[in-house]
Amino acid sequence: METKPPIPLAVLVGIQTSDIDDVAHEASLEELGRLVKTLGYEVVGTLSQKREGTGAAMLLGSGKLAELAALTGGTGVVASMAASSKSKARQRFDGVAGTAGTAEPEADAVRKPDFVIVDHELSPSQIRNLERATGAQVLDRTGVIVEIFHRHANTREARLQVEMARLKYVAPRMRESSAGGGDRQQGRGAGESALALDRRKVRDRLAELKDQLEAVQRDNDLRRSGRRDQLRVALVGYTNAGKSSLMRALTGSQVLVEDKLFATLDTTIRALQPETRPRILVSDTVGFIKQLPHDLVASFRSTLAEALEASLLLFVVDASDPTYEAQLEVSRSVLREIGADVVPSRLVLNKMDRVDEAGRAALMEKHPDAILLSAHAPEDVSALRDTIIAFFEAAMVEDVLVLPYAKQGLIGEVYESARVLSEEHDETGRVLTVRGLPAAIARLRRRLGER
């Protein structure tokens, strides 16, 4: 019977600079821990240090570095690249080989953390130095987020987007990972080194991915153009704010709901239930996070276009999180980056079932125009549905359309695009009194041959 590989162990490292207060620093480390948990790793330790900046070659001071090395089993010093230092994997292998035939010690007594996860973006040289000093594999915050996106991408578009972001993240770090052997001639091409060959492969693959992604996005643009005159609401906000739970409650769809960061990467579009006339479409978008890598924002620009082209944005916030205001600002910042900050929006304070009465009163005073709800309370969801309908109703107008008998095949499109208030017949055809958005009625008039 096959045994499962052990869960990777990780130590978190945070640097608190002068512009970060204690609450924000602790919240950031807690969020990093959730990211690491989403990867399937177990956090076994946390280490923090206050420093003026994060540009030092070793990131940590000598004392904290020694403390970290004691946790991971490293030396605490940066050995020469020529030194025959062994990786953690090699050390574990040698340890098993050397004790063959002897009593096996308890796993918890000998296992050291496999990873050091740093709550900042690191340079290639910083990663290299920390790995030499700790003997563990080092990942920065960006690397963790990129890896989570890689594991959670399901559709072809998301997989293409994430692979592009991963390659852009890996490319500048190839020199460090190839040091000590990357410049040796390998006989490939006219004296091309292994490192140069790898870099060329990355460039070629990025160009290939770009072409494939553009083709997929053209198809998506066509589908979006077909929904242009429809009523569209986009749920946007920080990852794990409860967007997917709210999406399920509003539309009755079986979208994935998990208590994990970035459980949703692919945009899901469903009709508001019970259905209205005209229909209102609700989309659940990828969540945001602090220090979301720029390449991921760029890669997911097409996915985020659902927010840009929506008629109404609902900023979903986890009101029970003490850092919700910072999370809200992150969401707004990303949407500003893609130009979606001009779309009408409403603030939705979710997870109110986790907020006490005093907290609720404070939220109502601070955000008097916000919608307070719990996605698990049917009465709250119903009230939000009414608010969404009222938003679109305010922009609708009444008009009269004449559907000639020769064009009766368009009756379904009329009912789909507007609410039919009354219907009569005369010698010219059906006379319909409708209520809908001005743009939708204008389009119907063109389809019916009216001016």
What pLDDT tens digit does each residue of the chain (451 aa) get? 567 788 999 999 999 988 888 888 998 999 999 999 988 899 999 999 998 887 788 788 989 999 999 999 998 887 654 444 444 444 443 444 344 444 444 444 568 999 999 998 898 889 989 999 999 999 999 889 888 888 877 778 878 888 888 888 888 777 544 444 444 444 455 556 787 888 889 899 999 999 998 888 788 777 666 556 678 999 999 988 999 899 999 998 775 555 556 655 567 789 999 999 889 999 888 788 887 777 777 666 666 777 888 899 999 999 999 889 989 998 898 888 878 889 999 999 999 999 999 999 999 999 999 999 999 999 999 999 999 999 999 999 999 999 998 888 899 989 988 999 999 999 889 999 999 989 889 989 988 876 5
Rounded CA-CA distance 114/237 in Å is 33
Per-residue model confidence (pLDDT) at position 82: 43
Tell me whether strands 429-436 and 419-425 are parallel, antiparallel or unpaired: antiparallel
**Could you tell me whether strands 115-118 and 9-16 are parallel, antiparallel, or unpaired per DSSP bridges?**
parallel
Residues 6+ apart with CB under 8 A from 17: 50, 51, 52, 53, 54
β-pair type (192-193, 185-188): antiparallel
The answer to whether 276 and 402 are in contact (CB under 8 A) is no
Q: Which residues pair with residue 288 across a beta bridge? A: 238
Instruction: Give the pLDDT confidence score for residue 186 in this predicted structure.
Output: 47
DSSP 3-state assignment of 186?
Answer: strand
Cβ neighbours of residue 161 under 8 Å, at least 6 residues apart? 153, 213, 296, 299, 300, 302, 303
In contact, 386 and 425? CB cutoff 8 Å: no
Which among 401, 398, 422 is positioned nearest to 410, based on CA atoms?
Answer: 401
- What was the pLDDT predicted at 151? 81
Taking the C-alpha atoms of residue 249 and residue 385, their distance in angstroms, rounded to an integer, is: 10
Structure tokens at 41: 């790793």
Distance CA 354, CA 350 (A): 9
Identify the helix (H) or strand (E) that includes residue 185: strand 185-188
Q: Residue 90's pLDDT is what?
A: 44
pLDDT at residue 194, as a whole number:
80
Q: Are 334 and 261 in contact (CB under 8 A)?
A: no
C-alpha neighbours within 13 Å on the C-beta side of residue 1: 2
- 322 SS3 class: coil
Q: Residue 412 class from Cβ within 10 Å (0-12 exposed, 13-18 middle, 19+ buried)?
A: exposed
Burial class of residue 105 (count of CB atoms within 10 Å of its CB; 0-12, 13-18, 19+): exposed
The CA dihedral of 364, 366, 370, 374, to the nearest 10 degrees, is: -50
Q: What are phi and psi of 43, to 5 degrees?
A: -80, 120
pTM, whole model, 2 decimals?
Answer: 0.75
Residue 401, both tokens: 């359309």
d(CA 370, CA 202): 47
Task: Give the C-alpha distances (Å, rounded to integers) separating 38 from 42, 169, 336, 448.
Answer: 10, 20, 28, 53
**Which pLDDT value is given to residue 259?**
54
CA distance 118 to 115: 10
Q: Give residue 225's pLDDT.
A: 63
- The per-residue pLDDT for 329 is 92
CB 130 within 8 A of CB 138: yes
CA atoms within 13 A on the CB side of 196: 11
Tokens representing residue 398 in the block: 């009444």
Question: Would you state the pLDDT for residue 260?
Answer: 55
